[in-house]
Every structure is written in structure tokens, then in C-alpha cells.
Chain A
Amino acid sequence: MVFPQLHTFFEHAGRLATFAGKFFAQVWRRPFEGRELICQLDETGTKSLVLVLVTGCAIGIVLSMQSRGTLARFGAEAVLPSMLALSVIKEIGPVITSLVLAGRLGAGIAAELGSMRVTEQIDALEVAALQPFRYLVVTRVLACIVMFPLMTIACDIVALGGGYIEASLSSDLDYRLFADQAFSSLRLSDLLFSTSKTAVFGFIVGLTSCSLGYNVRGGTREVGQAAMQAVVVSSLLVLLADVLMVRIDLILFGS
């Protein structure tokens, strides 16, 4: 029974493309839902900050612990700070943050819009000429586009902090020396490109989750399913997009 699944796949892909088209058509239109956008930014930030900070800190510590042993075998312990900074800022920070947020925010968005759909709140907005797409979808996607890079920066900072703390516990390491070494091998373009690519991840997660929630048909069961699908699909799409973006990074800025 591959064909029905293939059919659903194309149906979803089509819906997502339509949704993206509608987003770009509506995002420029006035009036802007400024009030709701601020609300969403606030909510997105509050929901995810602690989770991102804890994740970042844990990653920094673990990365530092594991790398030191490996580097020691090659007598290369001195490069630990650079290695940490490069891997956290170029890849691990952006991707882990985006995956964590895909889980935290994606499920929430899909469940919220899904239940608004099945309780006819979206229809109620529609018949009151309140532009539900602009009010609900555009604001949430924009909030994700803004918040993903900010959260990534927060994650990067605590991950390096965690890495430093772990490193300084096992050997006397001055933080200035650590910072010096960490940033000596890092280029500004590394930081800018890898942080701003998370805006694209935010767009993907926001759009996918909104689309799955907004298009729910049926009842509570389908809402739960949409929330689950939002996490799975947006995580996969983030990973896929990451492969493409790394490729682009290599072409644009070299290794």
C-alpha cells in the first residue's frame, strides 16, 4: 500500500507550497498585526528560552569533556577552545536549537491552530472579516523567523560558557586565553551565516506547523496527530535544509 501514502505525501507537499505562497503574498499587506506579533514573540521566547539554555549548557559541557580525551591522544589539547567554538557556532548550536524549538514550538503551534480549526474559531475569524491567515499564521511564522536566530545566539553563548567551565575545572585555564583561542580561528562570516540560516529553519518550522494545524479536518484525534506530525516533519525538513545550507556555505565562503 505505497500509493495512498505517496498520495498523502504529495497532498501535504502541495498544501505546504500553497501555504508558503500565501504567506509571501500576505506578509506585505497592511494592516500589520503588530500587537499579535509582539504577543507571539513574547510567547515564543518565554516558552523556549529555558529549554534552549539548558540544552546549550549541557552540550557545551559534554562536548568539552569528550573532545579533550580525543584531542589528548593526538597531543592537541591546546586546540580544544577553537574546536569547541567552531563546532558549536557553525553547526551544533544552530541545528540543536532548531530541533529543540521544532519540538517545543512546532507541536504547540499545530495543536493551537488545530483546535481553533475544529472548534470553528478560524471560521469565526473568517466570517468576521478578521483575516485569520494574516492574524494567526503570518504572525507565528514571523515570530519563529525572528526567535530562532536569537535563541541560537543564546544557545551558542551558554554552550561555550559550559565548555569553558568544564575545561577550567580539569585544568587551569584563564577565560581570556580560552576566549582568545576560541575566537581566533572563527571568522565573522561563520557566525553570521550559521546564525542567520536558523531564520530559514524558523520559517520552515513555523510554516510547517501552521500548515498542519490550520488544515486539520475532524476532531481532537486529528489535532493530536497534527501536533505529532508537526514535530516530525519540521525536524526532518530542518535537517534537510541544513544539508543544503552547509553546501551553500561551502560554496560561498569555502571551508
Chain B
Amino acid sequence: MPDADNVITIQALHKAFGGHQVLRGVSLEVPRATSLAVMGGSGTGKSVLLKHIVRLMDPDEGVIWVHGRRIDVLSLSELDALRLRIGFLFQGGALFDSMTVTENMDFMLRHHTSMTEEARLDRIMEALAWVNLQPAAGQFPAQLSGGQKKRIALARAIILEPDILLCDEPTTGLDPVSVRTVSELLVRLRAERDMTIVTITHDLLCAEITADAAVFLHEGRVLARGTIAQLKAHEHPELRLFFG
């Protein structure tokens, strides 16, 4: 059984894709209202790991608890209820490109709340204000820059006010100013809304601003864990290479 203080507990996760073993026994815990950075070279299975937490993928072996419940035994409606408490920021944003920015968010609110149209619009504008992109409200995703897409996707991920936020490379491809903006946003989300946050990142600046703790994945295992400072001082050659 997982520790009751942990919002997410992952135990000995294994996952292979047709003979290619990606995860070889990853275990980690994320305490409530903390921020964990998941670091590691590309192709080490970071995105795969994150997708398991919302059951976009099922593990070959291993167990995951979220909010104290084993997610592999949930019924479909229980799973949906749990998913509504989790915001997920995809690596590429995954904005619905047939909809405007406002519709992207309104779509979620319309389906999952009984808010009036005005209330929904207020909520959307509030979320856009968080990411400082109110002027983009009427635009389509194709009209936005990469960094703007990421920020809109973040706004969409928090529109239902989840208590867990999973971010897949929120700052990759952003300019240094945006990196700081988005990172500080994550810090505020945790401070003001008590969110539990897991962030995949290569970005040392982002990790240093946002994370209380970090794990370093290598060849499908957790190679090291600790604070960012501890990982930076780690003597393993892989980490030294990574932190250069």
C-alpha cells in the first residue's frame, strides 16, 4: 500500500513496445502539493511514464496509485472521474485545431460543468489571463506560435481546476523569457492552488525554478533522485554528461 501522503505512487513499472523495453522498473512517489521534475535524455521513456499515470497506456508490470486508488482496477466512470482531477499538458500541446482557443477550453467546461455561458467565459478569460494571452481568445491554434500554443495548452489543462498537473516538456522550444514565465506559472499554481505537479523537462532553468525534487531516468530506470542541486553534484557519468 502506498503512503497516504503521496498523491501519486508508482511501483516497479515495466513497459515494452514490441520487444523494445522502454521502462524497466520505475518507482517513484509524489507527495501532496509538491513539484517533481522528471529528467533524462530523450527517448528514455519520460512521456511513456507520464501517460501511464492517466492510463493512456497500461503497464506490462507494476502498479500505480493516484489519490490512494489503484488505477488499473477502476471502472470506466471512476477512471473518468479521476481524470477530471488531473490536468495533462501534452508535449506538442494537442490543442483541438478545428476549434478556437476559447472553444478549446469551453468544450471541457460545457461537458463537465453546469456553468452558464457567462460563467464559462469568465473562467476562460481568467485562465487566459494566467498565461497572459487574452488577445489570443478568438484565434485558431494554427495561428499561434509554438510558445503560445504551449501556454494555451497549459491554460486548457488547468481550466477544470484539477489538483494534479502533469506537464510534458512545458518549456521546450520556448525563448528564455517564456521559459521563465511558464516556470513561474507552475510555481504559482502549486503555491496558490496547492496543485501536485509532475514536470518532464530537459530544461535546467525550468527545473530549478519549479521543482522541489527530481528524478533522473536512464535506460528505463530511475538512476538518481534528490534535489536539483544534488543531481547536479552527482558523480555518475550520465548525469555529469546531462548537466554538462
Residues on A close to B: CB < 8 A? 119-121, 123-130
> How long is the Cα–Cα vector from A43 to B86 in the complex, in angstroms?
33
> How long is the Cα–Cα vector from A124 to B160 in the complex, in angstroms?
14
Which residue on chain B has the smallest CB distance to residue A217? B17
> How long is the Cα–Cα vector from A130 to B160 in the complex, in angstroms?
13
Contact between B80 and A124, CB atoms less than 8 A apart: no
Contact between B97 and A129, CB atoms less than 8 A apart: no
> How long is the Cα–Cα vector from A126 to B96 in the complex, in angstroms?
12
Asked if B90 CB lies within 8 Å of chain A CBs, one says yes
Show 14 A/B contacts (Cβ-Cβ < 8 Å), sorted by A.
Answer: A119-B94, A120-B94, A121-B94, A121-B95, A121-B97, A123-B94, A124-B96, A127-B83, A127-B88, A128-B83, A128-B88, A128-B112, A129-B112, A130-B108
> How long is the Cα–Cα vector from A121 to B107 in the complex, in angstroms?
13
Q: Given A121-B97, A123-B56, A124-B96, verify A129-B90 contact (CB < 8 Å).
A: no
Q: Given A123-B56, A124-B88, verify A130-B94 contact (CB < 8 Å).
A: no
Interface residues of B in 99-121 (CB under 8 A from A): 107-108, 111-112
A-B contact count (CB 8 A): 42
Give the residues in chain B near A120, CB-CB below 8 Å.
90-92, 94
Asked if B54 CB lies within 8 Å of chain A CBs, one says yes
> How long is the Cα–Cα vector from A82 to B111 in the complex, in angstroms?
53
Contact between B80 and A129, CB atoms less than 8 A apart: yes
Give the residues in chain A near B26, CB-CB below 8 Å.
none
Give the residues in chain A near B107, CB-CB below 8 Å.
130
> How long is the Cα–Cα vector from A125 to B80 in the complex, in angstroms?
11
> How long is the Cα–Cα vector from A128 to B80 in the complex, in angstroms?
8
Contact between B83 and A129, CB atoms less than 8 A apart: yes
> How long is the Cα–Cα vector from A129 to B54 in the complex, in angstroms?
10
Q: How near does chain A come to B203, taking the closest CB pair, in angstroms?
A: 20
Please give the number of chain B residues whose Cβ is less than 8 angstroms from any Cβ of chain A in the complex. 21
**Of B56, B95, B97, B111, which contacts A127 at CB under 8 A?**
B56
Which residue on chain B has the smallest CB distance to residue A118? B92
Which residue on chain B has the smallest CB distance to residue A129? B80
> How long is the Cα–Cα vector from A119 to B83 in the complex, in angstroms?
20
> How long is the Cα–Cα vector from A124 to B81 in the complex, in angstroms?
15
Q: How near does chain A come to B105, taking the closest CB pair, in angstroms?
A: 11
Q: A120-B94, A121-B95, A127-B86 are in contact. List 12 more A-B contacts (CB 8 A).
A: A120-B91, A121-B97, A123-B90, A124-B96, A127-B56, A127-B88, A128-B83, A128-B88, A128-B108, A128-B160, A129-B84, A130-B107
> How long is the Cα–Cα vector from A130 to B88 in the complex, in angstroms?
13
Contact between A124 and B90, CB atoms less than 8 A apart: yes
- Please encode chain B, from 74 to 92, with 1 for each CB lying within 8 Å of some chain A CB and 0 for all others: 0000001101101010111
Q: How near does chain B come to A222, taking the closest CB pair, in angstroms?
A: 16
Q: Given A120-B90, A120-B92, verify A126-B97 contact (CB < 8 Å).
A: no
Which residue on chain A has the smallest CB distance to residue B47? A120
Contact between B96 and A127, CB atoms less than 8 A apart: no
> How long is the Cα–Cα vector from A130 to B110 in the complex, in angstroms?
11
Q: Given A129-B112, A130-B108, A130-B111, verify A124-B84 contact (CB < 8 Å).
A: no
Contact between A127 and B54, CB atoms less than 8 A apart: yes
Give the residues in chain A near B96, CB-CB below 8 Å.
121, 124-125
> How long is the Cα–Cα vector from A125 to B88 in the complex, in angstroms?
11
> How long is the Cα–Cα vector from A239 to B88 in the complex, in angstroms?
44
Which residue on chain B has the smallest CB distance to residue A128? B108
Give the residues in chain B near A123, CB-CB below 8 Å.
51, 56, 90, 94
Give the residues in chain A near B94, CB-CB below 8 Å.
119-121, 123-124
Give the residues in chain A near B111, CB-CB below 8 Å.
129-130
Which residue on chain A has the smallest CB distance to residue B51? A123
10 closest Cβ pairs, A-B complex:
A129-B80, A124-B94, A120-B94, A127-B54, A127-B88, A120-B90, A129-B83, A121-B94, A127-B83, A123-B56
Which residue on chain B has the smallest CB distance to residue A33? B111
Q: How near does chain A come to B112, taking the closest CB pair, in angstroms?
A: 7
> How long is the Cα–Cα vector from A76 to B84 in the complex, in angstroms?
71
Give the residues in chain A near B80, CB-CB below 8 Å.
129
Give the residues in chain B near A127, CB-CB below 8 Å.
54, 56, 83, 86, 88
Contact between B92 and A119, CB atoms less than 8 A apart: yes
